Structure 1
């Protein structure tokens, strides 16, 4: 049974890599974010129902990164419109403060705010 998404999300125009927290191997790129989850774009399909320990490496300067660790469960996975790529939706077990700060920063940076018309 397919349910429609009701959580507001913001599409990102550029991608941050997502890593396995323990092996430090890249898993894919961040596709979009919400308070409760994220979408991962990867070369391999993710195991639906699997719990993953993820790490986002947020650039802070030249060769400097801030690590944001999250634990998430894969809710769905399907092939992307780009051949050989997969989109996977993850629900965060508990969003740490660092993730929420990152999410708000990304939403602010990548969002379009229309100007009010002047009379």
Structure 2
């Protein structure tokens, strides 16, 4: 998987990068068909006392793109919120994919008394 982590009005430190990667590894254990991902960490400085930390992720899965953003006063808390929401969506997507897979008609068993159709 290709993962790009960038910062907007923020320098992405190795500690932040490692934290995001370890959190995303926990999510990606559920679903291994991830093509690539783009994480943007940003800070909105509207007022000095009211800084808002925001995290956005765009994850490209096989068959679907997932975009999630979360905001909080603390960047680590925003990352945790984003990972929780991403985890729920990835598990739900995996469940939908698995529900649609049925046994092929050739391998389905006939019940007693049925004749094969020709």
Question: What TM-score comes out, normalization by structure 1 length?
Answer: 0.30
Question: What TM-score comes out, normalization by structure 2 length?
Answer: 0.30
Larger radius of gyration: 2
* Bigger fraction of residues in strand: 1
* Bigger fraction of residues in helix: 2
